[in-house]
Amino acid sequence: MKTFMATPTTIDRKWYVVDAEGQTLGRLSTEIAKVLRGKNKPIYTPSMDCGDYVIVVNAAKVKVTGKKLEQKMYFEHSKYAGGVRETDLATMLEKKPEEVIKLAVKGMLPKGPLGRSMINKLHVYAGPEHENAAQKPEVLTF
C-alpha cells in the first residue's frame, strides 16, 4: 500500500465561521490552528498547506483566565535603539481585538513560508458581522 501525499490538486478547501464569544483564548486558538493546518482532515500532509479558511467573529468578546488581562504583555519594536513598545492584553482587547486572536494562532503555526501561507487564511472580525458571506462558510463549533 502506498502512502498518500497531498498535492495542490487534491486539496479541497472549505470556509468555516467560528464565534469567539465567551470562549477561552488559548483553547480557541489551538482549534483554529488545527483547522488552518489541515490536521482535521484525513489527507493531512505536514509539508503541504492543506488547511481550510477560518473566519472568527466576535473577537472582542473572547475571555481569558487568571490575571492575564494585566500581566500578559505584547511587544513590538521600531528597529531603533530603545524603541520597544509594550502593551498589555486589556489594552489590546480594547484597541485591536482582531490582533489578539491572530497573534495567538500565529504562534501555534509552523514558522517560515508554510506558516505564513496558513495565517493568510485566517480572517478575524471584532464584531458579529463579516465580509465573507459570498463564500458560504459553515459554522464550526468546538
Per-residue H/E/C for 4-69: CCCCCCCCCCCEEEEECCCCEHHHHHHHHHHHHHCCCCCCCCCCCCCCCEEEEECHHHCECCCCHH
State how far the Cα of 137 lies from the Cα of 91, in Å rounded to an integer.
Answer: 31
DSSP reduced 3-state for 119? helix
Domain membership flag for residue 5 = no
- pLDDT, tens digit, 9 for 90 and up, residues 32-81: 999 999 999 999 999 999 999 999 999 999 999 999 999 999 999 999 99
Range of the domain at 133: 15-139
- Say if residues 88 and 69 touch (Cβ distance below 8 Å): yes
Question: What CATH number is associated with residue 93?
Answer: 3.90.1180.10
Domain membership flag for residue 6 = no
- pLDDT, tens digit, 9 for 90 and up, residues 81-125: 999 999 999 999 999 999 999 999 999 999 999 999 999 999 999
Residue 142's pLDDT is what?
83
Residue 1's pLDDT is what?
79
pLDDT cut 90: percent of the chain above it: 96
